[in-house]
Amino acid sequence: MDLVEETPYRFRIDRRDPMRVPGVVFATRSLLPDVDADRSLDQVADVATLPGIVTASYAMPDVHWGYGFPIGGVAATDVADGGVVSPGGVGFDISCGVRLLAADLDRAALGPRLDALLDGLGEATPRGMGTGAVWHLADRAELDAVLRGGSRYAVERGFGVPRDLARCEDGGAVDDADPAQVSERAVQRGAGQVGSLGSGNHFLEVQAVAEVYDEPVAAAFGLAAGQVCVMIHCGSRGLGHQICTDHVRAMERVMPGYGIQVPDRQLACAPVSSPEGRAYLGAMAAAANYARANRQLLAHAARQVFRRVTGGELALVYDISHNLAKIETHDVAGAPRRLCVHRKGATRALPPGHDDLPDDLRPVGQPVLIPGSMGTGSYVLTGVTGAPAWASTCHGAGRTQSRKQATKAVRGHDPRQELEAQGIAVRGASRRGLAEEMPAAYKDVTAVVAAAEGAGLCRRVARLVPLGVVKG
């Protein structure tokens, strides 16, 4: 793959048939994927072939190999000009995202109660591959209410406070969700998991604000140096996975009828305005609302434990997704256009003044939450005016090793002991689960964030460090 270095933080893949637009990779040379081991740059070029794609196929600094789209891929298609929606541009864990809560006490005050807090959070957080959840839904009608209402419905039922919704992307729920487009198999997989963490790279982490780069913006977000926080990373569980599976298959069947050819079957797609496109968007929105409710319920459980152990409260800083396709209006060649913006392992980063921000955040921009790999720092960023890539930025560190490779690499080591030697308490994780998520399996999150900032995608506000983690 030939790359043209435009700036130290931006590389171009020139357009060639059948690409409709060039590829643009935001990274430094040290962060670029190893082309012998990771074909994600080929995927950037493949995405550039999608019907209706505009401007470029983008990749964030944490880019790595994914299903169809690379993880860290961003692409927008023009709804009025044959633009398509591709489930591979969202991924299997629909609306996987991050929620950050800020405590009303600092690290020093928490110190003697950290172990009790981690024990309580471990007991209160259902996790792993199977069922088990904070919220036991009564029936299919109640699940449909979750699929339509997301965090809004959870708050109505007493799992949170109204202010939470102002600090959630989309006010806590994606509009136009259509539970009728969710298969019975997806319903079965999701019915018993509302308020559960899952496995893999998902976690609930107790953190402290180690460094503040912009005090006025941090204060607007509700953050200060030394403050204790809780970060929750999870998504739509088996329900979202099944929805992606179902709709990829449906789009594979209908593509020939629309005259669509793609270089990889994992890029199966359909016009946004087609019955199949609308069906997927309705099901995807339902899964996104499920994920929002999932994080809302986990936050509710964490608040109860935090209140019992410390006597303190947790206030929501923000909740943001990094696997979603959204219909948004953006300027293209100086004219506003309705675009279907796919963000796959990428985070929306709205600039100051954006109409979709709540009043208290509009002057400073949207909080952007970037979790590090386990045992490393995480970052809070904000959106910036004039950013490229449809107001999007990175979503994390980005893997450099598969889970199998990571497990092999730590043979002879004790991952739990190594984390605890760094002062990081661990609850509920198997040795294999820890091995798969150790920092050596990921890029350096600090370098990723620096590259995103250098490329003009976002701006740093604060750095958080882990005190303890609950894993599946």
Distance CA 238, CA 247 (A): 14
- What is the reported pLDDT for 35? 83
Q: Is 378 labelled as part of a ligand binding site?
A: yes
Q: Is 247 annotated as a binding residue?
A: no
User: Is 282 marked within a binding site?
Assistant: no
Residue 354 assigned to a binding site:
no
Domains by residue range for the chain, with CATH: 4-400+442-471 (3.90.1860.10)
The predicted-structure confidence for 226-259, as pLDDT tens digits, reads as follows: 999 999 999 999 999 999 999 999 999 999 999 9
Q: Does 18 show up as a binding residue in the annotation?
A: no
Q: Is 201 annotated as a binding residue?
A: yes
Mean pLDDT by 10 residues, the chain (472 residues): 93 97 97 90 98 98 96 98 97 97 96 94 82 77 95 96 97 96 94 85 93 98 98 95 97 97 97 98 98 96 97 97 97 96 98 96 98 86 96 86 64 71 73 67 89 98 95 75
pLDDT, tens digit, 9 for 90 and up, residues 370-415: 998 777 899 999 999 999 999 999 998 876 666 676 567 566 667 7
Q: Is 395 a catalytic residue?
A: yes
| Catalytic residue (choose from 64, 247, 300, 395) | 395
What pLDDT score was predicted for residue 370?
Answer: 96
Q: In the prediction, which pLDDT does 410 show? A: 62
| pLDDT reported for residue 183 | 96
Instruction: Give tens-digit pLDDT for 40-59.
Output: 999 999 999 999 999 999 99
**What is the pTM assigned to this prediction?**
0.94
Residue 202 is labelled as binding a ligand: yes
373 is in an annotated binding site: yes
